[in-house]
Structure 1
């Protein structure tokens, strides 16, 4: 374990509860290794979640992917950022790549895909992605969470269809 790894673990341990300590550890860690994917991803997470500096976050995630394309946590965070920013083209590319990375939690990736599709109003497709996520669950809590998400999306899909049917009703004027 090198110094950058130690500072990464310290930063990760302190985030988000002790932001000052986390940021200090990030600075020290990146001064030892400015290509450390874990440090770059954590810094990117702070940029978008805590500071709303989305472009800085994107740059960190891009650097992390460049230096270590097999680092799974980059995909989890970067896909979420792309969805938040409505950058669905980038999110789709990242999801496609993520599904080929060894060791990635495919249930998380399919869940993010479902969130993206839901945000686009493609509820049926989002439901299918949740079902794929459920197939990759490896514990009861995960399965229960996705069952709840599936129920929520099914209700939303039904409501969307009902709203669509109401708006397509033609009222004839009798006069």
Structure 2
């Protein structure tokens, strides 16, 4: 019996050396903390705006597009100004997906090209819009922005741009 016991003990000793390490030795270390604030970066306050409106200076009767951060992702079609409101539509060109958030800002100008004031159009998706819809995604959003009360009767031109554009 001793002859059979010695080889079995030797095999058991070899197998014990091949055993998997304890879970604590292979566990991936977890970060101690996650940084959620970045030094020197302040949260925005107020409504999104377009600095380019200050430099637009459209000619009387003009409705023009002001530069913004998302200009390569959309087109503005049918832009028109009747002295009371500016209308048009934003057509998404960057991809085909539902529109979740959109802000169109209009700057209204007097005959000298001086900025009189701004107003905005906002589109906010409702709840789960775009998740579980039937049919093709919405790629176009029509907008209408009325001249602010303090610029009524003085505004003769307009510039519009998009400071917020979020789609799926």
Class of the TM-score when normalised by the shorter of the 2 chains: under 0.3
Structure number with higher relative contact order (C-alpha < 8 Å, ≥ 6 residues apart): 2
Bigger helix share: 1
Higher radius of gyration, 1 or 2: 2
Bigger strand share: 2
**TM-score, structure 1 length as denominator?**
0.24
